[in-house]
Amino acid sequence: MKKKKAAIILGGGISGLSLAFYLRKNGYTKEICILEKSSRVGGWLESQTDQGFFFEKGPRTFRVSRSESLLTLIHDLHLEKELLFSSEGASSKYLFYNQKLQKVPSNPFSFLTSKLTRLLLLSLFREWKIPKNIEDESIHAFISRRFTPEVADSLFDAITTGIYGSDSKTLSISSCFPILKEWEREYGSITKGLFLHKKKKSVYPYKPSHLFTLKSGVGSLVTALEKEIKAEMITGQEGKHLTYKDGRFLVETESASYEAEDLFSAVPAPALAKMLHKDHKELSYLLGSIPYTNLSCVHFGYRKKVLPVTGFGYLVPFKEKEDILGVVFDSEVFSQQSSSEKQTRLTLMLPDRGLPDEKLYQLSVASLHKHLAISDFPDYISLTQCIGAIPKYLVDHQKKISDIQKIRTKELPKLQILGNYLSGASVNDSIAVAREVAEQGLLR
């Protein structure tokens, strides 16, 4: 029998939950049902304390300057007292470059003297003369063209790995670092853009460069949303098939059918592609052609201080051909989340190569020994396998999204789509899209 609902949100990650919150805030009165595949809502947002060690399984840090929508949600939920800012020491970042751990310069003097940025500095002086290219291109091609291939291989490859867990040679500059492409278009140069662009003033009184989280972890954002949105949550139900007929949507799962007037998809692109496969082949094909990165996150806990340096952590450019992509020094960034001052908590990111857990732990121990000379064996070990972790914004991703939206508007105009595959892979971007959709949702 079909279960009748007024509105269904498919997927209970931060996109789906914040959509429900903003629909309510904008006066949407229909009953909302969130249909979620797994046994809990929150998606990648999950905080866990195990054997006295606190870890985030997914997102863990947010920069004030890039988190206006997230901060607004935190304020809207009255969670501002829960904000936890990183210590000053956490601003130091490192690169494992040329087989050595090197500090990324963080002030003008070190910028001028560091070996890492000297390459960038020299090319800055000629960068403003380089002609524009209005077409999309890979991050690596863009940085090599405007600066040098060495700058692309060292700094930008590592930054890309840190944010997208993927290779700068395949990802799109226009989608991953739109501001750089915008500066090229507007000022003809990144260097000029850096000096001439007007910084947007934040409405929040926090230092733009600070990193933040919530005291009990990002999981508390999920708990607060669950309490606030007063929606029916149906977990353990994976949407398998989606159709639209006679003004109503039909969602079929393994064991039930749900009918709804309004439908919002907040599931990853491949999941929606599968659901539309039978009746909307072209839309399904385009959604299914957005690849996702798989990552393995290894969490190590020690009952003593083992780090030889302080800071946020380090990244490893692909060209170094190491086993890991980077390490976050969790206990240094947010020391207040440790249950004892002596603890060290580290999260290592590894590319998913289908290796058994034991092998991943061995590679992690060996990498920490090689990069940081840590010879202690961790007191606590756990693993988060992140399958379909982050969408890969390949070159011409924006064109693909625009094609998806065109076909959706033609074939399924009442279906609203959201998620981090549209216009930004972060939690902040996901919330921004959800808020936008919630505002449009009322106008329909």
Residues making contact with ligand FAD (CB under 6 A):
10-16, 35-38, 43-45, 58-62, 238-239, 266-268, 271, 295, 297, 386, 389-390, 419-420, 425-428, 430
CB-side neighbour CA atoms (13 Å) of 172:
22
The 8-class DSSP code of residue 79 comes to -
CB of 165 to ligand FAD, least distance (A): 8
CB of 237 to ligand FAD, least distance (A): 7
Q: Give the C-alpha separation, 127 to 184, whole Å.
A: 10
DSSP line for 37-61? SSSSSBTT--EEEETTEEEESS---
The residue (of 12 and 441) whose beta carbon lies closer to ligand FAD is 12
Query: What Å distances lie between residue 334 and 201, 314, 330, 346, 349, CA to CA?
Result: 26, 16, 6, 11, 18
User: What tokens appear for 200 in the block?
Assistant: 């947007």
The residue (of 79 and 425) whose beta carbon lies closer to ligand FAD is 425
User: What tokens appear for 150 in the block?
Assistant: 């060495």
Residue 147 and residue 211 in contact, taking contact as beta carbons nearer than 8 Å: no
In the block, residue with structure tokens 């090229």: 184
Q: Give the C-alpha separation, 329 to 154, whole Å.
A: 21
CB of 419 to ligand FAD, least distance (A): 4
User: What tokens appear for 203 in the block?
Assistant: 């409405």
CB of 228 to ligand FAD, least distance (A): 16
For residue 114, report the phi and psi dihedrals to the nearest 5 degrees: -70, 140
Residue 156 region by backbone torsions, left for phi larger than 0, else alpha for psi between -120 and 50, else beta: alpha
CB of 325 to ligand FAD, least distance (A): 11
The residue (of 110 and 209) whose beta carbon lies closer to ligand FAD is 209
The residue (of 12 and 326) whose beta carbon lies closer to ligand FAD is 12
CB of 385 to ligand FAD, least distance (A): 10
CB of 433 to ligand FAD, least distance (A): 8
The residue (of 66 and 369) whose beta carbon lies closer to ligand FAD is 66
The residue (of 62 and 177) whose beta carbon lies closer to ligand FAD is 62
CA dihedral 100, 315, 297, 426 (to 10 degrees): 180
Alpha helices in 54-93 (DSSP H): 68-76
DSSP line for 218-287? THHHHHHHHHHH--EEE-S----EEEEETTEEEEE-SS-EEEEEEEEE-S-HHHHHHHHTTT-HHHHHHH
CB of 129 to ligand FAD, least distance (A): 36
The residue (of 311 and 419) whose beta carbon lies closer to ligand FAD is 419
Q: Give the C-alpha separation, 145 to 166, whole Å.
A: 20
For residue 427, report the phi and psi dihedrals to the nearest 5 degrees: -60, -45
The residue (of 374 and 434) whose beta carbon lies closer to ligand FAD is 434
The residue (of 191 and 265) whose beta carbon lies closer to ligand FAD is 265
CB of 410 to ligand FAD, least distance (A): 23
